[in-house]
Amino acid sequence: MRVALASTIKQNPLLLTISSFLYRPPTKTVSFRNIFTVNTTRNLGFLRCKATMSEQEPPRLVVVQVRDKIELTDTETKIFSCLLNTLRHFNLETVLRVAGGWVRDKLLGKDCYDIDIALDNMMGSEFATKVAEYLSATGETAPSGFGVIPSNPDQSKHLETATMKLYDLWIDFVNLRCEDYSENSRIPTMRFGTAEEDAYRRDLTINSLFYNINTSSVEDLTGRGIADLKHGKIVTPLPPKATFLDDPLRVLRAIRFGARFDFILDEELKKAAASDEVKAALAAKISRERVGTEIDLMVSGNQPVKAMTHICGLTLFWIVFKLPPQVEPEVLEGCEMFCTAYLDAAWDLTQLIGSSTFNDDQRRLSRYAALFLPFRNTTYKDNKGKKIPVVNYTFRDSLKRKASDAETVMNIHRVLEKFLSLIPSLVSAEDVKVNDGQWSKELVDVPDASKLRVLTGFLLREIKKFWRVALLISTLLYPTHVDHTEDMLNQHFQLDSKRDLFVAAEKAITKLGLDEVWDLKPLVNGKDIMNVLQLKSGGPLVREWQQKLLAWQLAHPSGTAEECIDWMKETHLKRIKLQ
């Protein structure tokens, strides 16, 4: 499936510098760390690609500020009071504990709206029903939502979860659990467990903390949750391989939390995560939807590069981003390293340009577009033998993300060559150089003076609100032809110059008055075209003229519908005479 580096370097100049550091004969299993450093002494200087190969992360000291106690918001106080009043109303001897991420985030001084309540002696659905009955009996507002999510042991979803909306927050209710495994099965038999047993079955020590609502106190039942939080460590309560085989998705959660908080992954945890047994379990036991959700949280999070670097270093990339059996051309050996490198470059360039230039969805999909850039031209055949971009498979099959995400990223990749051909004219006085294979034949009647506005307008109508993302990715590939020497490669990574290139092209497009040109309504409709051509029905000729008239409209931004029709009649008559 993967081929040597040399055959694809020419198509991806950016890769040569990376490959010179990254590629080594596969004589032993190693982990890669991809590091981009920016020289900030003079306007951020140039970006220099460096990659190191190491067996373990160099030791570093992490000190995290952790609060001594949890301070509740007014809404949290109302919710917990309601739950305690439910206990009193029904004389229940149940201990209520908030579990996991909420406790961690509150101790870190962060807001959290994800409240999971663990119950020591009843099922979540049973207690949620009691809460609803209590609210009804006391005349308070009934919960606006209630549901039960069943367990699914085959997909490592071992607990039934009840969910209810109280005071505008969704609350999950589950029972404390302990899991017993038979000798020949990885699917456990569930039973009620103690709080300590439940804590040790959690994914990470920093997520094993409880807040006891009955006593208003934090419980660290593994004895190291708070310590690991203070020292920024990602550690499992039980031996990591057992923890990961219990639920292999915990591998990705460990990576996500390590990246999100910039915490250190425990060495034993990394060995377990990279083991063949755990990787096989991740591929076989976890639904692609759950994998996709974790990846999307990483990509849209605050440290996507660190997360993807961990995924590469732990040799999980092709487990997560699974490819179809046959692809063309074959995927480059070490491609996952290049994916991370492009993501890193796009991330840093976005910070230089200013994150506010893009909305949340544009930032998220720009990261996917950069991550999948090395195999943007790779295809596979569907059941009907049609060639489909591999990116489509990655989104829709490997990650089970929505189709619109796949379409947007594929569209970004599709317009890159067009953008690259326009950048010289947008940022300088160069004439537009048109590749006949890139643009439609309907543009042949466009005057040279208007060609830049017309071609850019068509391009923006093709990519719509993601045109700035496409421009961002294009700048990573510009210039398209560079001399493969160290000096030129250093120049290729000058992020400040790429920032200037992006800004200049963006200003030029705005100056042309093309922002939101995709909302431009045609001056002439299909019926008018049919009248001029004396046609009784539409068809290819009408569609052809629609493109021609749109080109005229882009070339004449102040033109009227009457002028547009007059031009059409004149052009049509000329063609008739020439035939």
pLDDT digits (tens, 9 = 90+) for 262-297: 999 999 999 999 999 999 999 999 999 999 999 999
What sign for the dihedral angle of Cα 89, 94, 99, 103?
positive
Checking if the pLDDT of 579 tops 70, the result is: no
Residue 279 one-letter amino acid: K
Average pLDDT in the chain: 84
Are 18 and 337 in contact, with CB atoms under 8 Å apart?
Answer: yes
**List of long-range contacts for 187-192, beta carbons under 8 Å, 24+ apart:** 187/153, 187/154, 188/153, 188/158, 188/246, 190/151, 190/158, 190/159, 192/120, 192/121
User: Does residue 100 or residue 80 have the better pLDDT?
Assistant: 80
DSSP state of 264: E
- Let me know the angle formed at the C-alpha of 385 by 381 and 388, rounded to the nearest 5 degrees: 35
* Rounded-to-integer distance, Cα 398 and Cα 406, Å: 12
Are 412 and 369 in contact, with CB atoms under 8 Å apart?
Answer: yes
Buried b (16+ CB within 10 A) or exposed e, 264-289: bbbeebbebbbbeebbebbbebbebe
What's the pLDDT tens digit per position in 25-68? 333 332 323 333 333 332 332 233 333 333 355 667 778 999 99
What are the tokens at 381? 């055949």
pLDDT value of residue 50: 37
Distances (CA, A) of 566 to 499, 532, 538: 44, 10, 20
Helix and strand totals (H; E) in the chain:
26, 17
The average pLDDT across 316-335 equals 91
The average pLDDT across 190-214 equals 91
531: Cα separation from own chain's centroid: 49
What's the pLDDT tens digit per position in 368-381? 999 999 999 999 99
User: Does residue 191 or residue 337 have the better pLDDT?
Assistant: 337
* Rounded-to-integer distance, Cα 39 and Cα 36, Å: 10
